[in-house]
């Protein structure tokens, strides 16, 4: 039953063809079938069933699409009285005394939290292989990665366990997993969704996002979550409202662009699907233009992201020292307590990022690395702003390939040439600028999904939804669930 969309489930509830308890029972049964994915940290089955029983006795509000809809929250959203670990050993016993704004909004609308999903530790990772609980497996092929860091949420939506799930996106942590898992992943304009109660990674880049299996559902969710919040200093109010009500396929007045230099780097089996879509758009009267973007700025995307995000992470996580916060490991001095706690509390990926971040913000390196990275970020944003002055929509590949095999990632040693292959870093553009960005399914290659990413200028979230709806209708891939419970290729 949870393979239905939010919109479909709402209609079934309104027409009394199903009850909240039936939805939750189906979700719980589906969750049990998908334990192989290793996508959860905490499951709240008893609590979800109890809430569903209460909702059974309540009238279904016709205007509340999220009433009785089950969901998962990435385990870096604080949930009062519920363990919140950020998939890190240093927080494995942390139970917040406060609630994130986003989960509180969902609670007030009687959505049903089914549990907390696994992530790359503290949001640091792009593969779904660095959670304290282990690898998160792709429901389309258990030998492949989901992408990260919002790996558990992506896997659960793609498997049909829940119709939507919360994530966070600092580099591409919602949109790339969406591409690898054949679902819709949306990162709204920076500040549009409150980050209060969400564990920070890099505050100038962090954005709350989420997964659905259709563009309609994505617009529905933003109608609820896109609220100004004075508890978040970066919260911003948009002039746009009622995204779902205003959802309509983009018209031919809209001008589309793609990055010609990046497009030419795609492998033939991926490139052919983008070429086909561009022809379809042109045949329907849309302007689709391949544009040049400074290659030196594209090659700078990854290093700029790394320097800025790693440096901000060092500051954001400085309290995780076993004294102020986090699981303590004893030592004979406060310095030893901090060293021991952080040594045992963090995984190797996080430690490496802290070392790089500390190096970048050290007194002797700030001008050379951190300040320079911020200046280059400004150049990238300026170039992107020029694109949006002429074009309404920028289309990007969500990734240069289908989801890689887990073993290939774990054995990977990047060469300098591979680091300069910027195609897999393109989604970082939207984090550097803060513009809305949505990934949706484009096609299947070797029975695995590939995604296309849709971008518009900041606060043009409706444009992104409308262009994505147009593409979704053209392609015909909507509300797709991975076959055979993730066991088709495992």
What are the domain boundaries of the chain? 6-251+402-407+436-486
Of the residues 88, 100, 117, 149, only one is catalytic, namely: 149
Is 149 among the catalytic positions? Answer: yes
Collect all residues with Cβ–Cβ distance below 8 Å to 386 and sequence separation of at least 6: none
Q: What is the CATH number of domain 6-251+402-407+436-486?
A: 3.90.1300.10
Q: Which residues pair with 145 in a beta bridge?
A: 137
Is 336 among the catalytic positions? Answer: no
Tally Cβ neighbours within 10 Å of residue 412: 11
Q: What is the 3-state secondary structure (H, E, C) of the chain?
A: CCCCCHHHHHHHHHCCCCCHHHHHHHHHHHHHHCHHHCCEEEECHHHHHHHHHHHHCCCCCCCCCCCCCEEEEECCECECCECCCCCCHHHCCCCCCCCCHHHHHHHHCCCEEEEEECCCHHHCCCCCCCCCCCCCEECCEEEEECCCCCHHHHHHHHCCCCCEEEEEECCCCCHHHHHHHCCEEEECCCCCCCCCCECCCCCCCCEEEEEECCHHHHHHHHHHHCCCCCCCCCCCCCCCCCCCCCCCCCCCCCEEEEEHHHHCCCCHHHHHHHHHHHHHHHHCCCEEEEECCCHHHHHCHHHHHHHHHHHHHHHHCCCECCCCECCCCCCCCHHHHHHHHHHHHCCHHHHHHHHHHHHHHCCCCHHHHHHHHHHHHHHHHHHHHHHHHHCCEEEEECCCCCCCEHHHHHCCCCCHHHHCCHHHHCCHHHHHHCCCEEEEEEEEECCEEEEEEEECCCCCHHHHHHHHHHHHHHHCCCCCCCHHHHCCCC
Upstream peptide bond of 240 is cis (omega within 30 degrees of 0): no
Of the residues 21, 173, 309, 400, only one is catalytic, namely: 173
Of the residues 74, 116, 176, 463, only one is catalytic, namely: 74
* pTM, two decimal places: 0.97
Would you state the pLDDT for residue 487? 53
Tens-binned pLDDT, residue by residue, of the chain (490 aa): 778 999 999 999 999 999 999 999 999 999 999 999 999 999 999 999 999 999 999 999 999 999 999 999 999 999 999 999 999 999 999 999 999 999 999 999 999 999 999 999 999 999 999 999 999 999 999 999 999 999 999 999 999 999 999 999 999 999 999 999 999 999 999 999 999 999 999 999 999 999 999 999 999 999 999 999 999 999 999 999 999 999 999 998 999 999 999 999 999 999 999 999 999 999 999 999 999 999 999 999 999 999 999 999 999 999 999 998 899 999 999 999 999 999 999 999 999 999 999 999 999 999 999 999 999 999 999 999 999 999 999 999 999 999 999 999 987 766 766 667 899 999 999 999 999 999 999 999 999 999 999 999 999 999 999 999 999 999 999 999 998 655 544 4
Please, what is the Cα angle at 322 between 321 and 328, to 5 degrees? Answer: 150
Would you state the pLDDT for residue 421? 83
Cα–Cα distances (Å) from 459 to 26, 174, 190, 355, 465, in that order, read: 37, 19, 9, 35, 12
Is 341 among the catalytic positions? Answer: no
Would you state the pLDDT for residue 490? 43
């Amino acid at each position: 039953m949870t393979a239905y969309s939010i919109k479909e489930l709402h209609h079934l509830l309104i027409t009394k063809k199903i009850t909240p308890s039936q939805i939750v029972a189906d979700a719980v049964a589906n969750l049990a079938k998908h334990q192989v994915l290793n996508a959860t940290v905490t499951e709240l089955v008893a609590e979800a069933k109890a809430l569903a029983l209460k909702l059974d006795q309540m009238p279904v509000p016709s205007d509340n699409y999220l009433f009785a809809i089950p969901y998962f929250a990435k385990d870096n959203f604080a949930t009062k009285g519920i363990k919140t670990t950020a998939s890190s050993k240093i927080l494995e016993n942390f139970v917040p005394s406060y609630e994130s704004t986003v989960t509180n909004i969902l609670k007030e609308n009687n959505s049903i939290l089914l549990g907390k999903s696994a992530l790359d530790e503290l949001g640091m990772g792009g593969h779904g292989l660095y959670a304290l609980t282990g690898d998160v497996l792709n429901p389309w092929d258990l030998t492949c990665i989901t992408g990260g860091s919002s790996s558990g949420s992506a896997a659960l939506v793609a498997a049909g366990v829940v119709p939507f799930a919360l994530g966070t996106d600092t580099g591409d942590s919602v949109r790339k997993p969406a591409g690898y898992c054949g679902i819709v992943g949306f990162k709204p304009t920076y500040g549009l969704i409150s980050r209060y109660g969400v564990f920070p990674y890099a505050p100038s880049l962090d954005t709350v996002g989420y997964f659905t299996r259709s563009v309609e559902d994505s617009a529905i969710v933003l109608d609820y979550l896109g609220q100004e919040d004075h508890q978040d200093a970066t919260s911003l109010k948009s002039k746009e409202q009622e995204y779902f009500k205003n959802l309509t396929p983009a018209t031919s007045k809209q001008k589309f662009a793609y990055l010609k230099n990046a497009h030419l780097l795609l492998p033939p089996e991926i490139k052919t699907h983008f070429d086909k879509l561009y022809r379809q758009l042109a045949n329907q009267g849309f302007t689709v233009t391949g544009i040049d973007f400074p290659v030196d700025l594209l090659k700078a995307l990854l290093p700029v992201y790394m320097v800025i995000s790693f440096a901000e992470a060092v500051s954001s996580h400085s309290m995780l020292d076993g004294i102020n916060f986090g699981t303590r490991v004893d030592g004979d001095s406060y310095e030893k307590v901090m060293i021991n706690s952080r040594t045992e509390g963090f995984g190797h990926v996080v430690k490496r990022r802290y070392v790089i971040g500390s190096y970048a913000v050290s007194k002797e390196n700030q001008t050379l690395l951190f300040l320079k990275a911020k200046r280059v970020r400004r150049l990238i944003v300026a170039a992107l702003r020029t694109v949006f002055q002429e074009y309404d929509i920028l289309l990007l590949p969500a990734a240069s390939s289908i989801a890689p095999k887990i073993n290939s990632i774990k054995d990977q040693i990047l060469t300098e040439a591979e680091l300069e292959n910027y195609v897999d870093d393109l989604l970082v553009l939207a984090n550097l600028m803060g513009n809305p960005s949505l990934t949706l399914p484009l096609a299947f290659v070797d029975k695995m999904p590939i995604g296309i990413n849709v971008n518009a200028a900041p606060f043009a979230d409706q444009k992104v939804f409308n262009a994505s709806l147009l593409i979704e209708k053209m392609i015909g891939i909507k509300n797709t669930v991975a076959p055979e419970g993730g066991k088709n290729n495992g």
